[in-house]
Amino acid sequence: MSLSLEELHLYNYMKMVPVSLQTETENVYRQILNNSNQSGEFNLKAVLASINNVIKKFNFEIVEAVDEVTGKDIHCLICTKARSNTQKTDFYDKTTCELLSKIIEECVKSENSRVSEITCLNVTTSTNAKKSSIQSSLQRLIQDKWVVSESGKISLGMRSLLELELPIKNQYSNYIKFCGLCKSLVMQGITCQECESRTHFHCLEKYCQLNNLSATNRVCPICKESLSQAADDMDCSSSDETVAISDPPAKRSRTS
């Protein structure tokens, strides 16, 4: 079993852009087909499944997910072998690997799942790396989508959450939380002050829409207490793309 030329081009794109919006993936593959003088509709899920059937033998997989901050559908190329170890020595130098591990630890233990960039630059590594070297490593992690930099704060990117979910669960079981609705790992979301459960922004938005709840009347999906005073794990002003809980359409009927 091998990849078609078009599938190979898409796979190469994912290697260069490991985290891609679903719409971007679709547009790239459509352009690939156009360049091959092919037209018509295509099933992207089937295309990705075909690619995964080939690359899985090399411990790679293209997975579908929802960005926990923006709520947008994404595709991410992950190394399935790396799911058992946060030390990515096969791809990065020791300083970069240690920096990623320390960022993961700091973010997981932080109340808002973020750490300041200054804290990242001041970490001590076993390689006794200089600050300039650590800064280069941090920029590499940002560029490769392992972490996200926003207003001087560093948080875990979706690539880290998807590829390193298992080791994060194993190493930090006393710190991590799982979304009250989708049950997957959640770092940045809405935390209920009553029961301390945490819910993805996008999961809560869907929950409120399905239950005809306005932004001012949203409740915790676990304990049903009001979330009007809920502590957001991320400052509302930290990202323009943060999902807002909007009022449902006026004519939308309640779904049980």
From 110, 134, 166, give the residue that closes a domain.
166
Instruction: Check whether 212 has a pLDDT greater than 70.
Output: yes
Instruction: Check whether 230 has a pLDDT greater than 60.
Output: no
From 118, 146, 166, give the residue that closes a domain.
166
Please indicate, yes or no, whether residues 71 and 120 belong to a single structural domain of this protein.
no
From 166, 185, 220, give the residue that closes a domain.
166
In a domain, 254, yes or no: no
Please indicate, yes or no, whether residues 193 and 222 belong to a single structural domain of this protein.
yes
CA distance 207 to 227: 13
| pTM, 2 dp | 0.82
Contact partners, residue 107, CB within 8 Å, separation at least 6: 113, 114, 115, 154, 155, 156, 187
Give the model confidence (pLDDT) of 99-125 as tens digits: 999 999 999 999 889 999 999 999 888
Looking up residue 210, the CATH number of its domain turns out to be: 3.30.40.10
Q: What percent of the chain has pLDDT over 70?
A: 86
* Domain count within the chain: 3
> Average of pLDDT values for 33-56?
93
In a domain, 247, yes or no: no
Please indicate, yes or no, whether residues 203 and 232 belong to a single structural domain of this protein.
yes
Give the model confidence (pLDDT) of 153-170 as tens digits: 999 999 999 999 999 999
CA distance 201 to 179: 10
Task: State the pLDDT confidence band at 88, using cuts at 50, 70 and 90.
Answer: low
Residues linked to residue 219 through DSSP beta bridges, in sequence order: 226
Give the pLDDT of residue 256. Answer: 33
CA distance 142 to 202: 23
Give the residue carrying structure tokens 């090399």.
58
Range of the domain at 115: 84-166
- 83-87, 135-139, 166-170, 210-214, range with the lowest pLDDT: 83-87
Q: Dihedral through CA 181, CA 182, CA 184, CA 185, nearest 10?
A: -40
Looking up residue 118, the CATH number of its domain turns out to be: 1.10.10.10
Please indicate, yes or no, whether residues 72 and 89 belong to a single structural domain of this protein.
no
